[in-house]
Structure 1
Amino acid sequence: MREIHEIIGSISPRAKAMLAVKATSRLGSFSRAASELNVTQSAISHLVAQAEDFLNTQLFVRQAGPYS
C-alpha cells in the first residue's frame, strides 16, 4: 500500500489543499494535520492558505493552540 505522502504527491494542487483543510478541521491543528499527512506544518499552512484563496473565504481563525 502506498504511503499518504506518495498519494498526496500525485494529486492536483486544489485536491492537496482540500486534504489539508479536511485534516486540519478534523484534527484541530495544523501540526496534527501535518503529522497525519506526513508533511511539515508550514506545508499545511500554505495549503490551507491556497484553499482560502480559491474559495475566497477564511476557513480557520488563527490563534496559538488548536484552531476553531
Structure 2
Amino acid sequence: MALDHAGTEALYDRLADAIDRARTLGEPAEMEAMLLAKLAFVALRELDDPERAAELVDLALKDLDRRDP
C-alpha cells in the first residue's frame, strides 16, 4: 500500500521521534544505529521473501563506501 503525502510525512515524523528517543537510551550514535538496524530487520522480515530481502540489503550497501569506483 503506497502512502500519500500526509501519510509519508506522519511516518517520517514518527521515525524521527523514534531516533531521537533511541539516542537518549545510551550512547547516541550506537543507539541510533541499533534502532535503524532493528527497524530494517523487522521490515525485511515482513517481506517473507529471503531472496528479495537479501537483494534489498545489497542495494542499501551499494555506493555506501564512496571509495569504491
What is the TM-score when the length of structure 1 is the normalising length?
Answer: 0.33
What is the TM-score when the length of structure 2 is the normalising length?
Answer: 0.32
Indicate the structure (1 or 2) with the bigger Cα radius of gyration. 2
- Name the structure where helix makes up a greater proportion of residues: 2
Which protein has greater RCO, CA pairs closer than 8 Å, 6+ apart?
1
